[in-house]
């Protein structure tokens, strides 16, 4: 098969291109040539900016397109103007952030999508990111009805992840010592190894699956405690977890998700965030690496990175020390007093 990647050299891209090559498909990469330009030296590379000039793609035909780099509906429209008549399947990498609400555990692909307050917005923010991706999905289906595969990943993790939203935990646990563990031990977590996602994307093309799929794992419920202790098991760390309630962390300005990666409040609007249904994707072949494999390989990769690199997620050590001290002090019982007669 012939597969065109719009992008292909960022985090998820290489983990999708490689299985395509392993399966002997013919791959073409189209991007600006700025991210990891040395990857895949034997693959055809077409250079250009998708928002300015797609002329190099005109009159070319591919069996499938994998779009990892569209964030605005116009990105899809521009690509479709050139590609719609010349490709058989369009695979759009969307996000579970498309949903209007994540309050309901077990929600699936039929849940209501978010809408943009300003359809003409040019800004990607926490409020617009999901609705923009939903608008991209709708535009793709409008232009290629019945030929679109909309894949909605959850948190994508593994070697090469630049966000630190999972990497923080293997690195922090490997350092050892007392570690803040957020919220309740039974709080659910969901994520997907980029390598599992990449292999499955190629499988979806090979088997011509279209439609909408939540792409996130694990297959069965995984708790925060199971994740943290599972990560510790692949290290020789002396790490000790101190479980601190979400409310106490919030009171001490430790935020969920970014400072405490994968930690999401289990009540209110976010109650279903880490409990979404992945049944539809698993029914068509999505599988998941063992936690130990993802954790070990992520840690091995992280050890190759500069020690002074800027971390985009996770709690810094100074703040962790301060909050741990405050937690201990909050649990010290005052001395008993006696009354004289």
What confidence score (pLDDT) does residue 46 get? 97
Per-residue model confidence as pLDDT tens digits over 66-100: 999 999 999 999 999 999 999 999 999 999 999 99
**206 pLDDT exceeds 50?**
yes
Our CA angle for 238, 239, 241, nearest 5°, is 145
Q: What is the 3-state secondary structure (H, E, C) of the chain?
A: CEEEEECCCCCHHHHHHHHHHHCCCEEEEEECCCCCCCCCCCCEEEECCCCCCCHHHCCCCEEEEEECCCCCHHHHHHHHHHHHHHEEEEEEECCHHHECCCCCCCCCCCCCECCCCCCCCCCCCCCCHHHHHHHHHHHHHHHCCCCEEEEEECCEECCCCCCCCCCHHHHHHHHCCEEEEECCCCCEEEEEEHHHHHHHHHHHHHCCCCEEEEECEEEEEEEHHHHHHHHHCCCCCCCEEEEECHHHHHHCCCCECCCECCCCCCCHHHCCCCCCCCHHHHHCCCCCCCHHHHHHHHHHHHCCCCCCCCCCCCCCHHHHHHHHHHHHHHCCCCCCCCCCC
Q: Assign domain 168-189+220-274+290-328 one CATH number from 2.30.30, 3.40.30, 3.90.25, 3.50.80.
A: 3.90.25
| Intrachain domains 2-153 and 168-189+220-274+290-328 with the same fold | no
Per-residue model confidence as pLDDT tens digits over 278-330: 999 999 999 999 999 999 999 999 999 998 888 899 999 999 999 999 999 99
What confidence score (pLDDT) does residue 260 get? 97
Q: What is the CATH number of domain 2-153?
A: 3.40.50.720
Where along the chain do its domains lie? 2-153, 168-189+220-274+290-328
Q: Please tell me the distance from the alpha carbon of residue 240 to that of residue 324, in angstroms, as a whole number.
A: 12
8 A C-beta contact, residue 27 and residue 20 = yes
What confidence score (pLDDT) does residue 338 get? 45
């Amino acid at each position: 098969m012939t597969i065109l990647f719009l992008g292909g050299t960022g985090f998820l891209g290489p983990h999708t291109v490689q299985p395509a090559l392993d399966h002997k498909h013919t791959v073409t990469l189209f991007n600006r040539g700025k991210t990891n330009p040395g990857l895949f030296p034997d693959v055809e590379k077409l250079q250009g900016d998708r928002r300015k000039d797609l002329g190099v793609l005109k009159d070319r035909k591919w069996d499938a397109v994998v779009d990892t780099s569209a964030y605005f509906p116009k990105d899809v429209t521009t690509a479709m103007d050139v590609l719609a008549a010349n490709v058989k399947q369009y695979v759009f990498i969307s996000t579970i952030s498309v949903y209007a609400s994540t309050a309901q555990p077990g929600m699936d692909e039929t849940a209501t999508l978010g809408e943009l307050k300003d359809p003409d917005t040019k800004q990607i923010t926490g409020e617009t990111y999901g609705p923009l991706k939903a608008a991209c999905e709708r535009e793709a289906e409008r232009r290629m009805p019945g030929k679109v595969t909309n894949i909605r990943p959850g948190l994508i993790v593994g070697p090469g992840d630049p966000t630190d939203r999972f990497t923080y935990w293997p690195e922090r646990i490997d350092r050892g010592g007392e570690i803040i563990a957020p919220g309740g031990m039974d709080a659910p977590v969901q994520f997907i190894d980029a390598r599992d996602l990449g292999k499955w994307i190629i499988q979806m093309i090979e088997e011509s699956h279209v439609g909408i799929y939540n792409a996130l794992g694990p297959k069965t419920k995984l708790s925060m405690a199971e994740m943290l202790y599972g990560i510790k098991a692949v290290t020789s760390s002396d790490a000790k977890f101190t479980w601190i309630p979400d409310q106490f962390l919030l009171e001490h300005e430790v935020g969920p998700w970014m400072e405490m990666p994968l930690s999401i409040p289990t009540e209110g609007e976010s109650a279903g965030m880490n409990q979404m249904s992945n049944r539809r994707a698993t029914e068509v072949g999505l599988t998941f690496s063992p936690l130990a494999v993802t954790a070990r390989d992520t840690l091995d990769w992280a050890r190759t990175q500069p020690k002074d690199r800027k971390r985009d997620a996770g709690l810094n050590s100074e703040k962790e020390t301060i909050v741990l001290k405050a937690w201990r002090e909050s649990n010290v019982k005052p001395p008993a007093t006696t009354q004289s007669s």
